[in-house]
Each structure stands twice: as structure tokens, then as C-alpha cells.
Amino acid sequence: MRRKGYWPFLIPGVLASVLVIVVPLVMTVYTSFTKWNGVGEQRWIGFDNYTRLFEDSLFWGSFTNILLLILAMAVVPTLLGLFLAAVLFDYVAKKFSNRWASLLRSGFYLPQIIPVAVTGIVWGWILHPEYGALNQILESIGLGSLAHNWLGEPGSALYSVMGIMIWVQLGYPIVMFMAGLQRVDPELYEAADLDGATWWQRFRKITVYLIRPEFYVVLVTTTIAALKIFGPIFVLTGGGPSNATLVPSYFAYKNFFEKAQVGYGSAISTVLTVLIIALSIVFLRLQNRAERKA
Amino acid sequence: MTLTANRPSATKDAPAKAVKRTNPVRFVILAALLALLLIVIAPLLIITINAVKSPADYASGGPLSLPPHLYWDGIVDFWNRVSFGEKLWNSFITSFTVAVLGVLLSVLNAYALGIGKVKGRLWFLVFFLVANLLPQEVLVYPLYFLSKEVGLYDSLISIVIIFTVIQAAFGTYLLTSVYQEFPTELLDAADVDGAGKLRTLWNVVVPVSRPTLGVLFTFFFIWTWNEFFLPLVFLVSNENQTVPVALGVLQGDRLMDVTMTSSSGLIGILPALLFFLIFQRTLTRGITAGAIK
């Protein structure tokens, strides 16, 4: 039965969304076709910002960096998290107790709850070239030659950020996958046991197969998070050294608020937005196809 | 996307079945997992021991030594220098207001879309989904410009308005899928009793969906608490800053000595840890519900 006359309940939500989302979005897209320093006159220049963007090596560099960050924030945590979730759910919980499994899960999840500014303080402190703990540990075990200005040298900065992001992200897939495994019928595992399947066979044939929905959700959400990354870059490296860790959102931020090139910044954020939406559509399609097959 | 809001909480603490053979392999695996856990929490442990270490002890023992005695001055000095109490209050009042208003707005939207099934609901849902995916960079400059025009720049009110809408976009999407499954008998019964739409919402729909609303509230609170980008842009004056902004902009400040920096880290971890402990049950359920973010 179709219920009627509910539309007035949408009014506050629609008005607020128009004000905070639609109007700014349209303004940014319009601004991306203009030259504007934020205060003076706004001049229409057509596609000039976009042609400039595609010739800008910083822009391409920021997208190469994002590809590596997708590896660190989406691919590695998802695969590692899948494996760890299966070990916790299907091994630790059974051979030890659920309490152990929950304890380990909470521990792995801990970095996820820490505000990004604090993550920056913690890791900036540990990786500091003079007083940081990591270099001290390396020296004390006789690997002093590996000591490094981890975040301060162009050669290692991005890899250091990647390592930190794996640390931040790992807990999310573990929690999601363990929750997904709750709905797996335990009899499936018992049947596999009776057939003499090894743990690894069960992992591949049962676990991975059954939590595909969660797998897609985790992969798409973490990939989008990687594309949007701003806070960790701001607090850890400021995009440096010499743009080695520049990412699109930080690049846009710099153009908006440091260089007063609002039109150019708008073009960068518009491209980023189109990319994110396109990627989401592709993922949703893939997910639907996988669900239909199942 | 799979949205499962009311799944029973994750692990039930049933005792492990009697399959415990004395197998050394299982202890090797447990040891490996514990070692990995230690690596994951080591950074937090290192920050904690250095937050309560005096600069002198740090100079003689380095970052890895345990402090010979507890030293609170770093934390106290840092607290006073940044007026941390004020920052905590700013963060709390902003996050709390956003959570309340965000849930309210989500409920209203989802009532119209999920239960009322208004015309064009699919398009509204697509809109809220896309709104959720948008990077904040694409909204930031016009919001900054407009807030200056209306005199809300550098004010917590602007942050509250913006995040209420952004969080409600997620909430609407999630809650609509929950309300689509809402038992029609309850709605019909309310109809028969002659309850209006508003009263049905308040007396039937909201109480029945309270667990999901609790999850949403928790999410909105913690997400807003941890937000960094927009508060960084909007809250420029010192007395308006939230905890993450205050900590973020102080990083690398030359007036901060080594142990005070770790004190600031610990002070930032503690509220998050507190929420984590308070909300852990809700969160475990909620993360599964939060498939989109």
C-alpha cells in the first residue's frame, strides 16, 4: 500500500541539503571555469584550468601518490584483514575462546578510533629523525645504518606514510569481516572438517566465498577514503618534502587557501569528485553482478 | 550495498567447544598474533610512557626507557598552554549537537522516503548517497565564502550546520533501508487509532527503531569529534578550536619540548579511548551498519 502525504517531512532535509551541498557543489563547478583569487572579479576562462591541470606534473604526481595510497589504505588492509579475520574467527575463537578473538579484534581496531591529528603527533614523534623512537630502536639492535629521516626525505616519505596508513586501516576490515562471518552457518565448516579439508582450503572455498558482500563494501569504502585523504598528509608531511607526498585534496587546499588560485583549486576538486563518483558506480555494478551470480 | 542495522552483537561468549587438543601449533599461532598486536599498539604505548617522563629522564634514558617516576608536568603544562578544557568543551558541544540534529534530520528524511515512499524516492536516495561520497574539498571554498557573507565564519554554528547535513546524508541512506522493512501492522494499527503522521512517527516509529538511532548517534558523535579538514578551515581563532584542530596546528611548534609533544598525543588519545570503551558494544554493531562511510 502506498502511503500518501509524507512529503512535508522531507522539507527540512531538502532545504538544508540544498544550502550545504547543492549550492556549494554548483558554485565549485562553475568556479572551475573561471579565474578568481577569492575576493576580486571572477572571470570566465572556459576550460583553461582543466588544460593547465592536465599539463601540470604536480597534478599527475598527486594521482600517482594516490595510487600507492590506495594500495596502502585499501588493498593491503583488505587482504591482510581478510586473513586475520578468518584466523581469529575460525581458529582462535575455536581453539582458544571467543574472549581471545574479541580481545585481539579490539586491539587491532584501536588505531581506527584515534583522531587523525593525534595519529600525526604519535607517528611524527616516533619517526622523528633526532629523538624518534624508531631510529633509537634500530640503533639499539645494531641496525643504526638504517636510521632515517623517515618523513623528511623525498625517497622515504611516501613509503612511511603508506606504512602508517596500513596501521590505521587494518582494524576496519577485520571488524567488518568478523561480523560478516557471524552469519556463516557453522555446519558448513563442520561438513568441510568431516571431508578432511585443511584450514587453508576452508579459508579459500568457504570464508572468502561467503563474505564477498563485505569484501566489496570494505574495498569500495577504503578506496574512496584513500582518494579523499587529507588529514594524515596535512599533519604528517604537509605534502612534502618537495611534493613527494602531495595528494589531490591537499593540492586543492593549497590552491584555495595558500595560493589564492580558487579557480584552479576548484578544477582539481571537480576532477577528484568525478573520479570518486565514477569509481563508486563501477564498484556498485561489480557488486550487483557478484550478488546476482551468488 | 549491504546494510544490516540490527544484527545481534558480534561475538557471543560461548565457551569453546571441547576440541582443545594439546597442539603446540596453536600456541605458535597465538604468539604470532600477540606479537602482531604488540606491534600495532606499540606506538601508543611508547607515547604513553613518554608522556609521563620528565625531560631530564628522557635525556638520560631515551624514548624507550620506563620513567623512573611519574611526571605529570608535561601534561599539566600542555593542558594550560592550549586551554585544553575549552577545546574539549568545543568538541563536545559541537559533536553532541550534530549527533542530535543529524539523527533528527535523518529520521524525518527516512520517514518520508522509507515509510512514506514519496514520489521520486529513488532519486532522493541517489542524491543522499552521492552527497555522502563527495569529498569535502569540493564544498569547502563556497562554504567558506558563504559563511563569511552571513557572518558565521570562525563560529561553531557553521560547523554544526555543515556536519549535521553531511552526517544526515549518511543517516538518511542507512535509515531509509531500515524503515523500508518497518512492520506495516504497527503503522496500520496507529492509523486505526487515528494517530496523525507526526504522532505515529514519534510514538511508534522512533521507539521501535531506537537501537538503530543509537548507533547513528554514536557514529555522528565520534565522526564529528574526529573531523579535521572543515574545522581546520573554519575555526581559525584559538578559542573556537576543537581538539583535533588544536592538536594538529600545534604540531612542530618550536615551544613544545620532546616529552610535551608526547603528552599532547596522550591527551588526544584519552577521550577517543573513553568513547571507545563506552560505546564499544554499539560500535561493534554499528560498524557493520556503517557500510557506506
Cβ count near A162 (within 10 Å) = 18
pLDDT at B169: 94
Local confidence band at B98 (pLDDT 50, 70, 90 cut-offs): very high
**Where would I find the beta strands (DSSP E) of B40-105?**
none
Most confident of A130-144, B163-177, B258-272: B163-177
pLDDT tens-place string over residues A169-222: 999 999 888 888 887 777 888 888 888 888 888 888 888 888 888 888 899 889
What span, in angstroms and rounded, lies between the C-alpha atoms of B58 and B64?
9
**Which residues in chain B (236-265) have CB-CB distances under 8 A to chain A?**
243-245, 247-248, 251-252, 258, 261-262, 264-265
pLDDT at A293: 67
**Which residues in chain B (153-172) have CB-CB distances under 8 A to chain A?**
161-162, 164-166, 168-169, 172
| Chain A residues with beta carbon closer than 8 angstroms to that of B138 | 24-25, 28, 266, 269-270, 272-273
pLDDT at B8: 41
**Which residues in chain A (195-254) have CB-CB distances under 8 A to chain B?**
213-214, 217, 221, 224, 227-228, 230-231, 234-235, 248-249, 252-253
User: Nearest-CA residue of chain B relative to A236?
Assistant: B251
Q: Which of A9, A99, A266 sits opposite B112 (nearest CB)?
A: A9
**Domain spans of chain A?**
45-293
- Does B34 score more than 60 pLDDT? yes
pLDDT at A223: 93
Q: Is A131 on the interface with B (CB under 8 A)?
A: yes
Q: What percent of chain A has pLDDT over 90?
A: 49
pLDDT at A3: 65
User: Nearest-CA residue of chain B relative to A182?
Assistant: B10
Split into its structural domains, chain B has a count of 1
pLDDT tens-place string over residues B102-120: 999 999 999 999 998 888 8
**Which residues in chain B (15-34) have CB-CB distances under 8 A to chain A?**
15-17, 19-20, 23, 26, 29-30, 33-34
Angle at A223 between CA A275 and CA A22, to 5 degrees: 45
3-state secondary structure chain A: CCCCCCHHHHHHHHHHHHHHHHHHHHHHHHHCCEECCCCCCCEECCCHHHHHHHHCHHHHHHHHHHHHHHHHHHHHHHHHHHHHHHHHHHHHHHHCCHHHHHHHHHHHHHHHHCCHHHHHHHHHHHCCCCCCHHHHHHHHCCCHHHCCCCCCCHHHHHHHHHHHHHHHHCHHHHHHHHHHHCCCCHHHHHHHHHCCCCHHHHHHHHHHHHCHHHHHHHHHHHHHHHHHCCHHHHHHCCCCCCCCCCCHHHHHHHHHHCCCCHHHHHHHHHHHHHHHHHHHHHHHHHHHHHHHHC
| Chain B residues with beta carbon closer than 8 angstroms to that of A266 | 138, 141
Cβ count near B148 (within 10 Å) = 13
Taking an 8 Å cut-off on Cβ atoms, the answer to whether A124 and B1 are in contact is: no
- Amino acid at position B97, single letter: T
* CATH number of B181's domain: 1.10.3720.10
Local confidence band at A287 (pLDDT 50, 70, 90 cut-offs): confident
- Kindly report the backbone phi and psi dihedral angles of residue A202, in degrees, each rounded to the nearest multiple of 5, phi listed first: -60, -40
Taking an 8 Å cut-off on Cβ atoms, the answer to whether A176 and B288 are in contact is: yes
> Is the bond into A241 cis (omega within 30 degrees of 0)?
yes
- Amino acid at position B253, single letter: D
Taking an 8 Å cut-off on Cβ atoms, the answer to whether A116 and B244 are in contact is: yes
Taking an 8 Å cut-off on Cβ atoms, the answer to whether A97 and B134 are in contact is: no
- Does A92 score more than 50 pLDDT? yes
Task: Name the maximum alpha-carbon separation found in chain B.
Answer: 78
In a domain, B268, yes or no: no
Residue A284: exposed, middle, or buried by beta-carbon count in 10 A (0-12, 13-18, 19+)?
Answer: middle
Taking an 8 Å cut-off on Cβ atoms, the answer to whether A118 and B17 are in contact is: no
- Amino acid at position B121, single letter: R
End-to-end Cα spacing for chain A: 31
Q: Is B180 on the interface with A (CB under 8 A)?
A: no
In a domain, B14, yes or no: no
What span, in angstroms and rounded, lies between the C-alpha atoms of A249 and A265?
9
Q: Which of B169, B248, B261 sits opposite A17 (nearest CB)?
A: B169
| Chain A residues with beta carbon closer than 8 angstroms to that of B146 | 23-24
pLDDT tens-place string over residues A11-50: 999 999 999 999 999 999 999 999 999 888 889 999 999 9
**Ramachandran assignment for B242, one of left (phi > 0), alpha (psi -120 to 50 degrees), beta (any other):** beta
Q: What percent of chain B has pLDDT over 70?
A: 86
| Chain B residues with beta carbon closer than 8 angstroms to that of A117 | 228, 243-245, 247-248, 251, 268
Residue of B2, B3, B11 to mutate, testing the A interface (most A Cβ within 10 Å of its Cβ)? B11
Q: Is A60 on the interface with B (CB under 8 A)?
A: no
- Does A53 score more than 80 pLDDT? yes
Enter the DSSP assignment of B225.
H
pLDDT at A247: 95
Looking at domain A45-293, which CATH architecture does it have? Orthogonal Bundle (1.10)
Q: The C-alpha cell of B203 is what?
A: 510514538
Residue B105 structural domain: 84-150+159-225
Contact A262, A31 (CB under 8 A): yes
Per the DSSP assignment, residues forming a β-bridge with A35 are A43
